[in-house]
Amino acid sequence: MPAKRRVIVAVLLLLLTAAATSAQAAGIAPWSPHSIAGKAGVAARLGAGKTHALPEGAPPREPATAPANDACSCAILISCGNINLTGNTSMATNDYSPDSTGCTHYSAPGRDVVYKISASNGDSLWVDYTSTGADGSIYLVTDCSNVTASCVAGADNTLLNETEQLRYKFTSHTTYYLILDSSDGVNSFGSWTLNGQLLCGPNSPPSNDRCETATPLLCGPINLSGSTANATNDYTFPSDLSSCFGHKADGKDVAYKLSVTAGDSIAVDYTSTANGSVYIVGDCTNPAGTCITGKDVNTTGQTESLRYTFDFSATYYLIFDSRDAGSSGTWTATGTLQCGLHVPTNDACSGAITIPCGDINLSGSTQLAHNDYLLSSNNCTGFTTDGNDVVYKLNAHAGDSLWVDYRSTTDGSIYMVTDCSQPGATCLVGADNGVEKETEHLRYKFTSNVTAYLILDSYDLNSFGDWTLVGGMICTLVGVDPERPGARLELEDVQPNPFLRSSTVSFALPASGPATLRVYDLEGRVVRTLLDRELPAGRHQVAWDGKDDGGARVGPGVYFAKLASLGRSATKRMVFVR
How does pLDDT run across 253-266, given as a tens digit for each residue? 999 999 998 888 89
- Residue 435's identity, in one-letter code, is V
Report how far residue 250's alpha carbon sits from residue 236's, in angstroms, rounded to the nearest whole number. Answer: 5
Q: Residue 343: inside a domain, yes or no?
A: no
What's the pLDDT at 299?
73
User: Are 455 and 510 within one domain?
Assistant: no
User: Are 189 and 266 within one domain?
Assistant: no
What's the pLDDT at 38?
35
Report how far residue 82's alpha carbon sits from residue 153's, in angstroms, rounded to the nearest whole number. Answer: 20
Q: What is the CATH number of the domain that holds 567?
A: 2.60.40.4070
What is the average pLDDT value for the chain, to the nearest integer? Answer: 83
Confidence class of residue 35 from pLDDT cuts 50, 70 and 90? very low
What's the pLDDT at 19?
47
Distance of CA 258 to the CA centre of its chain: 11
Confidence class of residue 98 from pLDDT cuts 50, 70 and 90? very high
Highest mean pLDDT (candidates 252-261, 470-479, 485-494, 567-576): 252-261
pLDDT tens-digit series, residues 51-80: 334 445 544 444 468 899 999 999 999 988
What's the pLDDT at 34?
30
User: Are 423 and 527 within one domain?
Assistant: no
pLDDT tens-digit series, residues 219-275: 888 999 999 988 889 999 988 888 898 889 999 999 999 999 888 889 999 999 999
What's the pLDDT at 146?
95
Question: Per the structure, how many domains does the chain have?
Answer: 5
User: Are 227 and 134 within one domain?
Assistant: no
Q: Do residues 324 and 251 make contact, with C-beta atoms less than 8 angstroms apart?
A: yes
Residues 350-354, mean pLDDT to the nearest whole number: 89
What's the pLDDT at 32?
35
Q: Residue 465: inside a domain, yes or no?
A: yes
The least confident of 23-32, 134-143, 448-457, 557-566 is 23-32
User: Are 403 and 304 within one domain?
Assistant: no
Confidence class of residue 487 from pLDDT cuts 50, 70 and 90? low
User: Are 531 and 550 within one domain?
Assistant: yes
Q: Do residues 266 and 274 make contact, with C-beta atoms less than 8 angstroms apart?
A: no
Q: Residue 62: inside a domain, yes or no?
A: no
Among candidate residues 444, 474, 504, the one where a domain is terminated: 474
| CA-based torsion, 408, 412, 416, 418: positive or negative | negative
Q: What is the CATH number of the domain that holds 130?
A: 2.60.120.380
Q: Which helix (H) or strand (E) holds 15?
A: helix 3-25
pLDDT tens-digit series, residues 328-344: 999 999 988 988 767 78
User: Are 310 and 388 within one domain?
Assistant: no
What's the pLDDT at 90?
92
CA distances from 196 to 47, 80, 84, 120, 170 (A): 51, 11, 7, 18, 16
Q: Residue 407: inside a domain, yes or no?
A: yes
Q: Do residues 575 and 302 make contact, with C-beta atoms less than 8 angstroms apart?
A: no
Q: Residue 551: inside a domain, yes or no?
A: yes
User: Are 397 and 451 within one domain?
Assistant: yes
Q: Residue 451: inside a domain, yes or no?
A: yes
User: Are 332 and 219 within one domain?
Assistant: yes
Report how far residue 428's alpha carbon sits from residue 450's, in angstroms, rounded to the nearest whole number. Answer: 11
Among candidate residues 199, 223, 256, the one where a domain is terminated: 199
User: Are 221 and 327 within one domain?
Assistant: yes
Confidence class of residue 195 from pLDDT cuts 50, 70 and 90? very high
Biggest CA-to-CA distance, the chain: 151
Distance between start and end Cα atoms, the chain:
112
What's the pLDDT at 236?
93
Q: What is the pTM of this model?
A: 0.39
pLDDT tens-digit series, residues 388-442: 999 999 988 888 899 999 999 999 999 999 999 999 999 999 999 877 778 999 9
Percent of the chain residues topping a pLDDT of 70:
86
User: Are 312 and 380 within one domain?
Assistant: no
pLDDT tens-digit series, residues 21-33: 444 444 443 433 3
Q: Residue 429: inside a domain, yes or no?
A: yes
Nearest to 371 by CA among 404, 333, 344, 408: 344
Among candidate residues 443, 474, 505, the one where a domain is terminated: 474
Give the helix ranges, DSSP H, for 26-159.
36-46
What's the pLDDT at 540?
85
Q: Residue 61: inside a domain, yes or no?
A: no
Q: What is the DSSP string of 371-435?
A: ------TTSTTSS---S--EEEEEEE-TT-EEEEEEEESS-EEEEEES-TTSTTTTEEEEE--SS
How many beta carbons lie within 10 A of that of residue 572, not counting itself? 17
Confidence class of residue 9 from pLDDT cuts 50, 70 and 90? very low
Report how far residue 8's alpha carbon sits from residue 165's, in angstroms, rounded to the nearest whole number. Answer: 76
Provide the domain limits for residue 315: 211-338
pLDDT tens-digit series, residues 124-180: 898 999 998 889 999 999 999 999 999 999 999 877 778 999 989 888 888 999 999
Residue 104's φ and ψ, nearest 5 degrees, are -95, -15
